[in-house]
């Protein structure tokens, strides 16, 4: 059971850092400064709310590893619903899974997305490698741009498919950095762009969670008709505060998450 979980997160990390060179660099910088393993606070996954790839189908992989359902979150403007999953093992990263509420989108978007999802077989979703299996459908660049006009989330997911959208460093586990602001300074000193949407530090001690993130790297994607560089994945940093009972807050903060989603928006 334990080995399975570590293997899953290792494979997710390997796949993620392959398209997120900045995360690999920052991880190296932090690891060298800290001199110990970097602990992940959480990872995040994205999907469409259509069978066979809905949020629950992704969550199955984590429930099978002993995770349980945590809080749920609503993002009205972005037409997203999300849930988090947590584990008794304090070293197990939390998992944040969101899904696009496609029925709230335009008929054109629904038609496009239904065609993409129709390419995915239920057996593939159940397979051990699904969560880092990437795209299961053909996508041309014009279709990507059309999705992008209506929903950046839909366009990102159509282009990248199934993979960790980000990993998140647990600032609580760092020794040389005590605040998210200090991490942001390190990022900027090393030439990385911090997501400034809603402020560079999202959340407050009162929210029991402070977060920041890089802006996603831009890396080439092979569309069916051409190769274009588009935003891939980003790296996040989270500092959790204790609840009145002394245990660390395990949830997420919808107002902050709403801005973190924007880390995959095109910078220019
Ligand atoms: C998830 C954004 C929310 C957080 O930590 O609040 C999030 C995403 O971009 O898919 O990860
Ligand atoms: Ni996150």
| pLDDT higher than 60, residue 204 | yes
- Expressed in angstroms, the distance from the first to the final Cα of the chain is 44
Q: How many domains does the chain contain in total?
A: 1
Q: For residue 76, name the pLDDT band (cuts at 50, 70, 90).
A: very high
Q: Among the bound ligands, name the one nearest to the CA of residue 97.
A: 1
Q: Which two tokens stand for residue 10?
A: 């290792």
Q: Whose CA is nearest to atom 2 of ligand 1?
A: 261
Taking CA atoms only, the protein residue closest to ligand 1 atom 3 is: 257
Whether residue 110 is predicted with pLDDT greater than 90 in this model: the reply is yes
Positive or negative CA dihedral for 189, 201, 73, 39? positive
**For ligand 1, atom 6, which residue shows the shortest CA distance?**
257
pLDDT of residue 3: 60
Q: For residue 207, give the ligand nearest its CA.
A: 1
* CA 45 – ligand 2 centroid, Å: 9
State the CATH number of the domain containing residue 92: 3.10.180.50
259: its two tokens: 């801005």
Task: Provide the pLDDT for residue 168.
Answer: 98
What distances in angstroms separate CA 158 from CA 48, 109, 124, 188, 237, one per listed residue? 10, 11, 17, 30, 26
Q: Could you give the CA distance from residue 41 to residue 38 in angstroms, rounded to a whole number?
A: 10
- Cα 226 to ligand 2 centroid, rounded to whole Å: 31
Question: Token pair 């304090």 is at which residue?
Answer: 90
Instruction: Provide the pLDDT for residue 71.
Output: 98
In this structure, the residue with its CA closest to atom 9 of ligand 1 is 261
Predicted structure pTM score: 0.98
Band of pLDDT at residue 268, cut at 50, 70 and 90: very low
Whether the CB-CB separation of 236 and 213 falls below 8 Å is answered with yes
Q: What is the pLDDT of residues 158-201, one digit of tens each?
A: 999 999 999 999 999 999 999 999 999 999 999 999 999 999 99
Domain that holds residue 38: 2-264
Task: Tell me, using a 6 A CB cutoff, whether residue 257 lines ligand 1.
Answer: yes
- Residue pair 69/248 in contact (Cβ under 8 Å)? The answer is no
pLDDT at 267 over 90: no
| Ligand 1 centroid from CA 127, angstroms | 24
29 Cβ contact list (under 8 Å, min separation 6): 186, 190
Q: Cα separation of 46 and 76, whole Å?
A: 16
Q: Return the half-sphere exposure (C-beta side, CA atoms, 13 A cut-off) of residue 219.
A: 17
- CB of 47 closer than 6 A to ligand 1? no
Question: Using a 6 Å cutoff on CB, does residue 49 contact ligand 1?
Answer: no
């Amino acid at each position: 059971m334990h080995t399975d979980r570590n293997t899953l997160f290792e494979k997710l990390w390997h796949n993620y850092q392959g398209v997120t060179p900045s995360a690999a660099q920052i991880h190296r910088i932090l690891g060298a400064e800290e001199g110990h393993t970097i602990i992940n606070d959480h990872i995040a996954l994205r999907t469409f709310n259509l069978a066979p790839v809905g949020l629950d189908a992704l969550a199955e992989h984590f429930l099978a590893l002993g995770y349980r359902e945590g809080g749920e979150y609503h993002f009205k403007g972005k037409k997203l619903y999300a849930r988090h999953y947590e584990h008794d093992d304090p070293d197990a990263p939390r998992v944040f899974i969101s899904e696009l509420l496609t029925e709230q989108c335009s008929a054109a978007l629904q038609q496009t997305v239904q065609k993409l999802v129709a390419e995915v077989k239920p057996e593939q979703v159940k397979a051990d490698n699904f969560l880092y299996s990437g795209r299961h459908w053909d996508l041309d660049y014009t279709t990507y741009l059309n999705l992008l006009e209506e929903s950046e989330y839909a366009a990102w997911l159509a282009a990248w498919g199934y993979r960790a959208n980000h990993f998140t460093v647990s600032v609580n586990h760092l020794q040389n950095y005590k605040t998210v602001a200090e991490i942001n300074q390190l990022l900027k000193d090393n030439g990385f762009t911090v997501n400034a949407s809603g402020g560079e530090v999202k959340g407050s001690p009162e929210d029991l969670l402070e977060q920041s993130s890089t802006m996603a790297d831009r890396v080439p994607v092979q569309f069916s008709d051409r190769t274009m560089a588009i935003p891939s994945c980003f790296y996040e940093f989270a500092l959790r505060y204790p609840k009145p009972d002394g245990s660390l807050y395990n949830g997420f903060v919808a107002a902050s998450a709403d801005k973190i989603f924007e880390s995959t928006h095109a910078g220019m």
